[in-house]
Amino acid sequence: MKGICLVLAAFVVLLACTDRDDDLGRANIRIRNLSNLTYDEVVVGAQEVLYEGVAPGDFSDYLPFDTAHEYDYVSIRAGEETYVLQPVDFVGATALPIGLYTYELNVSPEGEVTLNFKAD
């Protein structure tokens, strides 16, 4: 009887275990704030996906994108200031496959935005 309970418990645990990207249908990107500024709003890409309230050192939630790249247009509003990363073009860039990704964003003292891409 004890063996049946252990097998049943193991089976239930295995069924409950899923990867966090098992149910995705698109690329999902979150923001990590590497600066000392609070990002009140971050707008990413031509779709203008909006992230709000990302504190220094924190991560946003993942948001889905129809089309995403390893780099993209980014506009950060922090207080009264707006900082922009404007890619020149996407020649040779391929769209990201379904998955989870992080844009690590920083703003230099000169106001330049840097983006470091991470596959999660």
Residue 16 within any structural domain of the chain: no
Q: Are 29 and 68 in contact (CB under 8 A)?
A: yes
Q: Are 104 and 86 in contact (CB under 8 A)?
A: no
Strands 99-107 and 81-85: unpaired
Smallest CA-to-CA distance from 42 within 81, 69, 68 is with: 81
Residue 9 within any structural domain of the chain: no
What does the pLDDT average to over 50-63?
Answer: 98
Is the pLDDT at 95 greater than 70, yes or no? Answer: yes
Say which residue the tokens 């920083």 belong to. Answer: 106
Sheet holding 49-54, edge to edge: 49-54, 39-44, 74-78, 81-85
Q: Are 63 and 28 in contact (CB under 8 A)?
A: yes
Residue 14 within any structural domain of the chain: no
Per-residue pLDDT, 2: 54
List, for residues 24-36, the tens digit of each pLDDT value. 799 999 999 999 9
Q: Write down the pTM of the prediction.
A: 0.80
- Structural domain total, the chain: 1
Neighbouring C-alpha atoms within 13 Å toward the C-beta of 64 = 7
Per-residue pLDDT, 90: 75
Residue 15 within any structural domain of the chain: no
Domain that holds residue 67: 23-119
> Which CATH number do you get for residue 27?
2.60.40.2890
Per-residue pLDDT, 3: 53
